Chains A and B, each alone.
Chain A
């Protein structure tokens, strides 16, 4: 009897430890996938510029197009629908929310520019026009384990600006 109780206890401890490990791994995989997608979306949005302004020597974003390109890139890389909800094969399991999307260019700032956003803990000396974005999804759930929202930020910039 005592032996059975010990083994049952060991199994329960093992099960919880295993589920905890699986949750930590799934959380981290989601974070890596989200960060990779954010990097590519920021990179793609960076190219949505007004070419008439560029011929004058200024980099100015086409704001509507930059936002559209950013979301299109997220849809491609994460397998999302038009509302940024995941499809059945998506690497994320909940809606992707763009909590911040900011464009800094020659029409709004002069560079270098010390960018800071304490709400999202973003601090960087920008050497040129940049796209700053933060996206998030709900934490993956494994058994009783569920963590904070998974967040990824990106600051994509023209580093060789003037």
Chain B
């Protein structure tokens, strides 16, 4: 009887051992995806002199293609035209799915993926 109870308890431990690496890897890849898209958006915005709606839609489609949800305002930054040498800012903040099967500590993980990028405008009128 005791052994059966012990095995039932260890089953959850086994489940965590098997699933946690996959959750961790997914979280890491999604985090990189958001950062890479923020970088891409900043580099494209530098040429345009600002973030354009078309660029926002392109990045939104990239992020949503992997199953994340992008709401209005999640992709923001400099929308007014900046001249050559002036700063353009890009911010992406996307809701983050759970990265842990069970939270063993008292501190929760961040609930959003976040990336802020800054680049100088290349725009010449």
Contacts and interface: CB of A to CB of B under 8 A. Distances in A.
B122 A47 contact: yes
Given A47-B85, A47-B120, A25 B10 contact: no
A1 B3 CA distance: 11
Interface residues of A, number: 24
A33 interface: yes
Interface in B6-35: 6, 10, 13, 17, 20-21, 24-25, 28, 31-32, 35
Contacts of B85: 47
A40 B117 contact: yes
Contacts, number: 60
Q: Taking chain A's interface residues, is the majority helix, strand, or loop, or is none over half, making it mixed?
A: helix
B32 A29 contact: yes
B14 to A, nearest CB: 8
A7 B13 CA distance: 9
B120 A43 contact: yes
B51 interface: no
Interface in B28-51: 28, 31-32, 35-36, 39, 42-43, 46
B110 to A, nearest CB: 11
Contacts of A138: none
A17 B24 CA distance: 12
B112 interface: no
A76 interface: yes
Interface of B: 3, 6, 10, 13, 17, 20-21, 24-25, 28, 31-32, 35-36, 39, 42-43, 46, 84-85, 87, 116-120, 122
Interface of A: 3, 7, 10-11, 14, 17-18, 21-22, 25, 28-29, 32-33, 36, 39-40, 43-44, 47, 69, 73, 76-77
